[in-house]
Amino acid sequence: MKLGVLLFEEFELLDVFGPLEMLGQVDNLSIELISKNAGPVYSAQGPATITQKDFRDSTEYQIILIPGGIGTRKEVHNFIMIDWIARKAKSANYITSVCTGSALLAKAGILNGKKATTNKLAFSWACSQSEQTDWVAKARWVQDANIFTSSGVSAGIDMALALIKEIWGEMKANEIADRAEYKWNQNPDIDPFAIKYGLT
């Protein structure tokens, strides 16, 4: 099984590496990082990450992960990237996003008629990318069939563990969380930040 992770300038570091810390511990999953042009991609926090693949590569992924970050404000207008997301999603078994990465999924039409969530501080902006999405204000993450979307930043870790539970089982998800000494929030309805930011 292959996981493809999209990177773009000013992506959020934890949106990527939080989920990858968890997903990188399952068996028979190879992880590839992709950007428009393979090479260094600079995060919102500064450090660069080297991607191995570019948009010309024809690899199909069973799982795709779209992070958020301040860079999404620009990338929602990047139709080359939006087209890449739409194409890769068609052949993926699971489509996932963290934080405002859901805005990119929405822009690609992937969330039309679907339930989804996003970063609560940027909730209004993300929702503005698609009126055809059923945006859920109070949710740590949302699963709608094969689509997993999470709330902001650290919520991607909880979502990744929920995905692991879906594919590899609850025992494996708990084992990975324990190994990381991470207290997994298994209830997606527990979302204190929706209250904090006045969404409920």
Strand-pairing partners, residue 4, are: 32, 64
E strands, the chain, are 2-6, 30-34, 40-42, 48-50, 63-66, 94-97, 115-116, 134-135, 141-144, 147-150
Q: In the chain, pLDDT over 70 holds for what percent of residues?
A: 100
Ramachandran angles phi, psi of 176, nearest 5°: -70, -45
Beta pairing class for 63-66 and 94-97: parallel
**Alpha helices (H) in 24-169, listed in sequence order:** 72-75, 79-91, 101-107, 123-127, 155-168
Q: What is the pLDDT of residue 129?
A: 97
- Counted domains in the chain: 1
The structure tokens listed for 91 are 């052949």
CATH number of the domain where residue 37 is located: 3.40.50.880
Q: What's at 119, amino acid-wise? A: N
Mean pLDDT (whole number) for 34-58 = 97
Residue with tokens 């969330």: 111
pLDDT band with cut points at 50, 70 and 90 for residue 16: very high
For 98-111, write each residue's pLDDT tens digit: 999 999 999 999 99
Q: What is the pLDDT of residue 172?
A: 98
Q: What is the pLDDT of residue 49?
A: 99
Give how far the C-alpha of residue 55 lies from the chain's centroid of Cα atoms, to the nearest Å. 18
Q: Where in the sequence is the domain holding 136, given as residue range(s)? A: 2-196
For 121-157, write each residue's pLDDT tens digit: 999 999 999 999 999 999 999 999 999 999 999 999 9
3-state SS, residue 167: helix
In angstroms, the CA 99 to CA 121 distance is 10
Please state at what angle helix 155-168 crosses helix 170-179, rounded to 10 degrees.
140
